[in-house]
């Protein structure tokens, strides 16, 4: 049987989403992780997957892009 790991909660306000200059799309930055996506929502969900590898779970709504 596989062990289930309990994930720590992480507020979505810790994620910074911004428009990438010189490129098409948006980036999300959180806990030394950088993800890219065509939309802010896509970048946020990719970030959720990245922090899940570290044992965290993102909660809340997608923050506004800067």
Query: pLDDT tens, 19-50?
Result: 999 989 999 999 999 999 999 999 999 999 99
| Residue with tokens 């923050």, as numbered in its chain | 63
Q: What is the pLDDT of residue 11?
A: 93
Q: Length of the chain in residues, anyone?
A: 66
Total domain count, the chain = 1
What pLDDT is recorded for position 64?
Answer: 87
Angle at 29 between CA 25 and CA 33, to 5 degrees: 110
Range(s) of the domain holding residue 48: 12-59
- Please give the mean pLDDT across all residues of the chain: 92
- The reply to whether 65 falls in a domain is no
Considering the entire predicted model, what is its pTM?
0.87
Q: Can you name the residues that pair with 47 across neighbouring β-strands?
A: none
Query: For residue 66, what pLDDT is reported?
Result: 83
Nearest to 11 by CA among 51, 65, 57: 57
């Amino acid at each position: 049987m596989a062990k289930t790991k309990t994930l720590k909660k992480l507020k979505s306000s810790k994620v910074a989403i911004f428009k990438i200059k010189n490129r098409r799309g948006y980036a999300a930055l959180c806990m030394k992780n950088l993800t890219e996506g065509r939309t802010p929502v896509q970048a946020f969900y990719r970030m959720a997957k990245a922090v899940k590898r570290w044992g965290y779970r993102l909660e809340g709504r997608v923050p506004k892009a800067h």
